[in-house]
């Protein structure tokens, strides 16, 4: 889950550090990245462990499909470490070797077990200087010692001589034929190393064998398969290693880079290019290795056929039929090999296409397009020989007009027109008679649209892919799953969580059927479904499902592994939504303790867990613990990563926001200004990254009731957001909403309503009326309407939004409770006490359930006021006494109102002498601090308090005093 991202729905399985954090923890040094501490050759084989980060499987920044087979966490750890070095470091060794001079760089690889002429002095110097580290670098590149190499350098190596370590040599290398040796020998050696890293043994046992016998074994005998040693390595991992260890060079990877690329595809859960050897090929290999036996079998077979021929015509006909069947089978095998080759090519193209799209920064492209357009306009004006003043004026007007154009939309539409739309048409035309290929390629286009947040276009293309797949007799399970997950992703991005849920149910069932109950793909599917269920208010089912996924994961991978902790970090938000405070606290403590133990106290994943758990605890009112965790995450980040590291800046921003919400404005502003200083230095004053920090400072001013200062900063931020992010981008809409709230607090209601209605229209147009943020905006609009005295209109708006919230999020959602509370306030202020009472009791029950004392006190005060309005004076007095007990020690307008209402209850029970001084003093206190009352209710609370005082005097039979209070407030 991304830091500060709430429930973090787009990284549910396998959390990773940010790219900045990876740069710190993987800086290329042995201390940071790790190195193979010990990889010995035959006779003493063992594999060391790399330091640094353990790689986690890729999730597309969201839950998506993975590879068809999952290894255990240790295997993925080695594969990621190995792939990051195979294509780069080994190739680097080879290129270094080709440029070698008399330093013996080519033939002297510091290899344990290989003794080459001219290496002893070098080995001695390295050994003496690195006694403790004991590096052992394998002899990659030795395979390139051909005849031409020998003539090009002063090496004491003869053509055809066996050079290197026997256990890592390829079949053609041990044959001693220089013409047959090329870079694919190094691929074979890499395959041996990878086999050894994964199962801690060599693929061929050469211990105790003579050189000749060892060479024969390498040439003729097949290595043991990985899955026979470790069942979890079956599938793609085994296929990759087997291809690297093929006896025939042409069937191996052509280079170390190709091998590394296939490993990276596996780690990113993409299709690999390698394929298991066919049955025909295995038979041919057996015949070549056992020529005598094969020849004998053939002779026996021919003799048998000759004998059968004498039995008569019908047996001859049977033989002909059998031969035809064999020919048909061979033809089918050839066709299958052709199809597999085509499929490999197709999957490679898909993988490349998907990787290409995922690396596109569409916002940056949009900004560059707009900058280029403005530059071209300037050049055109200059070419027209216009005066500089006119050029500047025209450009200013042009920039002011074009800021309303969403640069991101411009970039996406350009890509769509130039690439995706044409690709879609080409696919349908070129593969009209090949529905399986057509479906697969269209799915890739649909994924690309999802990456570019074009959900509607994605759904259209994915619908075509699904229709194409309907014409395939046995559709590929991988393609079926891809279509389902992409459809669900598109629905979720469009805010249609209710539509995404049934698709994700089908996807989970599909994964269980085709990939297994406890495969990583299935576990990810379950986690993603749980997150969506949580979004639509099905929290009980979400919690149960995620608990099942955790149990399955623990049974296969262990209780305490990084992916398991990532699932728990999703579960903690679900439990928060369910109101299970004790479970939230338990999970938070468990996650943090496990992260400290598993990754260490200063690891980026530990710091992310501290920050996220701190945010969750804040939501259940455990303010001090929350602040402590968020502060620890920031201070550790500053110490470990540095003051100007991006992760430190982000956590400093988070801490400042938390301090602001707790009323610690001075420290909050100090931290936020440090963030602003950094952003100004990196991005300049007008960049949106800088303006985001200005927005944070504006939020602090707003919370401190410094509305004018906040409004000025918001108005400064808005043009930058509209220009860089786009008019309907969520960042822009949030700035507009906060601007509207400032205007509301300043009493500029008409301006506030106009801007908030604009925000609402943009949100509904983009994500529909059921979007969570659209619902929040509608509630805010209702508050502005009420503040202008249009209470009946406010009731109508809130009633509609309450019904929508109950449908989408459930009765106990905090969002539903907030809308119910606001509707209750409005009904109370209209004097509609019978309608307000059940909503008030619902609010009170929720506040008690979550043990929120301030909210409980507020609900009791409102209930006491409602009971007074209904004439239930005794009950009102009891309720207000309870409210006084709950709010003991508190101050402010709410407490003064409590005092006045309690006085009214005393007066209603005839205790006028006690009531009068309490009510008059409380009223004066409320008037003096009325700016602290919510502006939507301010005038109604003052009026209500005055009405209670007037009623007291009427019951006390003091009509003059009663008329005075009525006349002061314009009440007849």
Closest CA to 170 of 155, 183, 161: 183
pLDDT, tens digit (0-9, with 9 covering 90-100), for 821-843: 999 999 998 999 999 999 999 99
Tokens 């410094």 correspond to 706
Going from the C-alpha of 67 to that of each of 391, 515, 531, 847, the distances in angstroms are: 57, 10, 22, 46
Q: Which is more confident, 839 or 625? A: 839
CB-based contact 902:914 (threshold 8 Å): no
The angle that helices 455-469 and 477-493 make with each other, rounded to 10 degrees, is 160
Q: What is the mean pLDDT of residues 107-114?
A: 34
Q: What is the mean pLDDT of residues 944-964?
A: 89
pLDDT at 759 over 90: yes
Count CB-CB contacts under 10 A for residue 338: 10
Where exactly are the structural domains of the chain? 19-52+67-268, 852-968
Query: Residue 543, class by beta-carbon neighbours within 10 Å (0-12 exposed, 13-18 middle, 19+ buried)?
Result: buried
Q: Which is more confident, 86 or 750? A: 750
The pLDDT assigned to 344 comes to 53
Q: What is the mean pLDDT of residues 784-805?
A: 92
Provide the percentage of residues in the chain whose pLDDT is more than 70: 71
pLDDT at 348 over 70: no
pLDDT, tens digit (0-9, with 9 covering 90-100), for 423-438: 777 888 888 888 888 8
Q: What is the pTM of this model?
A: 0.48
CB-based contact 2:10 (threshold 8 Å): yes
**Torsion angle, alpha carbons of 219, 220, 222, 223, to 10:** -40
The pLDDT assigned to 751 comes to 95
pLDDT, tens digit (0-9, with 9 covering 90-100), for 871-917: 998 899 999 999 999 888 777 788 888 899 989 999 988 889 999 99
Among the listed ranges 99-113, 390-404, 508-522, which one has the minimum average pLDDT value? 99-113
The pLDDT assigned to 711 comes to 94
CB-based contact 108:119 (threshold 8 Å): yes
Cross-strand partners of 47: 39
pLDDT at 316 over 70: no
Q: Where are the alpha helices (DSSP H) in 558-622?
A: 562-578, 581-599, 604-619
Provide the percentage of residues in the chain whose pLDDT is more than 90: 17
Q: Which is more confident, 746 or 932? A: 746
Confidence of residue 531 (pLDDT cuts 50, 70, 90): confident
The pLDDT assigned to 121 comes to 37
CB-based contact 214:206 (threshold 8 Å): yes
- CATH class of the region 19-52+67-268: mainly alpha
The pLDDT assigned to 870 comes to 92
Confidence of residue 780 (pLDDT cuts 50, 70, 90): very high
pLDDT at 296 over 60: no
Q: What is the mean pLDDT of residues 696-718?
A: 90
The pLDDT assigned to 314 comes to 54
Q: Which is more confident, 827 or 294? A: 827
Name the token pair of 684. 């300049």
Among the listed ranges 363-367, 604-608, 775-779, 852-856, which one has the minimum average pLDDT value? 363-367
Among the listed ranges 386-400, 823-837, 839-853, which one has the minimum average pLDDT value? 386-400
Tokens 């295995």 correspond to 282
Arithmetic mean of pLDDT over the chain = 75
Q: DSSP labels for 199-262?
A: HSS-SS--TT--HHHHHHHHHHPPPPPHHHH-GGGTTHHHHHHHHHT-SSGGGS-SSHHHHHHH
The pLDDT assigned to 168 comes to 85
Tell me if the domain spanning 852-968 has CATH number 1.25.40.10: yes
The pLDDT assigned to 278 comes to 57
Alpha carbon distance 717, 739 (integer Å): 10
Q: Which is more confident, 269 or 869? A: 869
Name the token pair of 743. 């205007």
Alpha carbon distance 187, 262 (integer Å): 13
Closest CA to 10 of 56, 58, 63, 55: 63
Q: DSSP labels for 606-644?
A: HHHHHHHHHHHHHHTT-HHHHHHHHHHHHHHHHHHT-TT
Q: What is the DSSP letter of 55?
A: P
pLDDT at 148 over 60: no
Among the listed ranges 195-209, 361-375, 473-487, 630-644, which one has the minimum average pLDDT value? 361-375
Q: Which is more confident, 74 or 908? A: 908
The pLDDT assigned to 972 comes to 38
Q: What are phi and psi of 39, to 5 degrees?
A: -130, 90
Q: What is the mean pLDDT of residues 951-955?
A: 90
Confidence of residue 462 (pLDDT cuts 50, 70, 90): very high
The dihedral sign for the CA sequence 620, 621, 624, 628: positive
The pLDDT assigned to 742 comes to 93
Alpha carbon distance 176, 159 (integer Å): 8
Q: 852-968: same fold as 19-52+67-268?
A: no
The pLDDT assigned to 859 comes to 93
pLDDT, tens digit (0-9, with 9 covering 90-100), for 46-68: 333 333 323 333 333 333 333 33
Closest CA to 873 of 953, 965, 962, 951: 951
Among the listed ranges 28-42, 73-87, 298-312, 777-791, which one has the minimum average pLDDT value? 28-42
């Amino acid at each position: 889950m991304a830091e500060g991202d709430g429930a973090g729905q787009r990284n549910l399985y396998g959390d990773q550090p940010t790219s900045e954090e990876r740069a710190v923890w993987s800086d290329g040094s042995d201390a940071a990245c790790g190195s193979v501490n010990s990889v010995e050759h035959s006779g003493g084989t063992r594999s060391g462990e790399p330091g640094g980060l353990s790689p986690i499987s890729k999730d597309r920044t969201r839950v998506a499909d993975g590879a068809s087979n999952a290894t255990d966490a240790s295997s993925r750890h080695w594969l990621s470490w190995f792939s990051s070095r195979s294509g780069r470091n080994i190739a680097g060794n080879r290129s270094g070797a080709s440029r070698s001079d008399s330093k013996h760089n080519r033939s002297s690889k510091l290899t344990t077990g290989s003794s080459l002429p001219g290496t002893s002095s070098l080995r001695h110097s390295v050994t003496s200087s690195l006694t403790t580290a004991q590096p052992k670098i394998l002899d990659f590149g030795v395979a390139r010692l051909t005849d031409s190499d020998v003539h090009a350098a002063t090496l004491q190596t003869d053509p055809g001589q066996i050079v290197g370590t026997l256990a890592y040599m390829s079949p053609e290398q041990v044959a001693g034929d220089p013409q047959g040796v090329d870079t694919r020998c190094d691929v074979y050696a890499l395959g041996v190393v990878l086999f050894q890293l994964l199962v801690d043994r060599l693929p061929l046992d050469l211990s105790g064998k003579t050189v000749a016998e060892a060479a024969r074994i390498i040439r003729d005998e097949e290595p043991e398969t990985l899955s026979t040693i470790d069942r979890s390595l079956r599938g793609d991992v085994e296929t990759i290693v087997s291809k690297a260890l093929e006896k025939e060079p042409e069937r191996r990877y052509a280079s170390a880079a190709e091998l590394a690329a296939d490993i990276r595809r596996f780690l990113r859960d993409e299709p690999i290019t390698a394929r298991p050897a066919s049955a025909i090929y295995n038979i041919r290999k057996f015949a070549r290795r056992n020529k005598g036996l094969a020849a004998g079998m053939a002779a026996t077979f021919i003799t048998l056929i000759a004998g059968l021929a004498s039995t008569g015509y019908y047996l001859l006909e049977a033989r002909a039929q059998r031969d035809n069947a064999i020919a048909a089978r061979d033809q089918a095998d050839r066709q299958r090999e052709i199809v597999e080759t085509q499929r490999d090519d197709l999957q490679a193209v898909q993988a490349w296409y998907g990787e290409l799209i995922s690396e596109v920064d569409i916002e940056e492209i949009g900004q560059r397009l707009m900058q280029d357009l403005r530059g071209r306009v300037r050049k055109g004006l200059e070419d027209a020989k216009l005066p500089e003043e006119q050029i500047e004026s025209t450009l200013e007007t042009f920039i002011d007009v074009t800021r309303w154009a969403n640069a991101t939309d411009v970039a996406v539409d350009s890509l769509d027109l130039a690439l995706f739309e044409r690709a879609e048409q080409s696919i349908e035309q070129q593969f009209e008679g090949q529905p399986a290929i057509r479906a697969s390629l269209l799915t890739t286009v649909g994924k690309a649209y999802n990456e570019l947040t074009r959900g509607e276009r994605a759904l259209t293309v994915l619908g075509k892919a699904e229709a194409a797949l309907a014409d395939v007799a046995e559709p590929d399970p991988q393609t079926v799953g891809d279509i389902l997950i992409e459809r669900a992703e598109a629905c979720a991005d469009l805010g249609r969580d209710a539509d995404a849920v049934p698709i994700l149910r089908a996807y989970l069932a599909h994964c269980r059927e085709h990939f297994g109950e406890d495969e990583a793909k299935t576990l990810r599917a379950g986690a993603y479904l749980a997150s969506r269920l949580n979004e639509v208010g099905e929290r009980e089912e979400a919690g149960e499902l995620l608990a099942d996924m955790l149990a399955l994961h623990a049974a296969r991978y262990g209780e305490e592994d990084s992916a398991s902790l990532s699932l728990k970090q999703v579960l903690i938000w679900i439990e928060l939504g369910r109101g299970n405070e004790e479970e939230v606290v338990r999970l938070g403590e468990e996650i943090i303790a496990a992260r400290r133990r598993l990754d260490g106290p200063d690891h980026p994943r530990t710091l992310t867990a501290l920050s996220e758990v701190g945010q969750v605890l804040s939501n259940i009112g455990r303010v001090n613990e929350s602040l402590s965790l968020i502060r620890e995450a920031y201070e550790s980040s500053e110490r470990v990563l540095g003051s100007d590291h991006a992760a430190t800046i982000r956590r400093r921003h988070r801490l400042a926001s938390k301090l602001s919400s707790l009323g610690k404005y001075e420290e909050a502003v100090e931290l936020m200004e440090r963030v602003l200083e950094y952003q100004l230095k990196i991005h300049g004053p007008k960049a949106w990254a800088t303006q985001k920090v200005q927005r944070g400072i504006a939020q602090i001013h707003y919370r401190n009731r410094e509305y004018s200062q906040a409004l000025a900063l918001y108005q400064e931020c808005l043009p930058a957001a509209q220009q860089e992010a786009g008019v309907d981008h969520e960042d822009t809409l949030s700035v507009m909403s906060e601007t509207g709230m400032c205007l509301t607090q300043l009493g500029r209601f008409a301006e506030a309503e106009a801007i908030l209605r604009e925000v609402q229209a943009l949100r509904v147009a983009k994500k529909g009326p059921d979007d969570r943020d659209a619902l929040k905006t509608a509630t805010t609009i209702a508050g502005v309407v009420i503040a202008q005295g249009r209470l009946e209109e406010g009731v109508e708006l809130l009633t509609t939004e309450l019904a929508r919230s109950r449908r989408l999020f459930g009765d106990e959602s905090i969002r539903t409770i907030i809308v119910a509370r606001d509707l209750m306030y409005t009904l109370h202020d209209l004097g509609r006490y019978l309608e307000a009472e059940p909503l008030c009791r619902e609010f009170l029950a929720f506040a008690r359930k979550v043990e929120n004392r301030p909210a409980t006190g507020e609900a009791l005060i409102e209930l006491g006021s409602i009971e007074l309005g209904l004439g239930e004076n005794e009950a009102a007095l009891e309720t207000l006494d309870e409210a006084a007990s709950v709010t003991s020690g508190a101050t402010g307008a709410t407490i003064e109102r409590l005092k006045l209402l309690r006085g009214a209850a005393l007066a209603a029970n005839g205790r006028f002498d006690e009531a009068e001084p309490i009510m008059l003093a409380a009223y004066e206190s409320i008037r003096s601090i009325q700016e602290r009352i919510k502006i939507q209710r301010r005038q109604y609370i003052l009026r209500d308090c005055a009405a209670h005082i007037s009623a007291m005097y009427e019951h006390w039979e003091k009509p003059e005093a009663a008329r005075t209070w009525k006349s002061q407030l314009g009440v007849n």
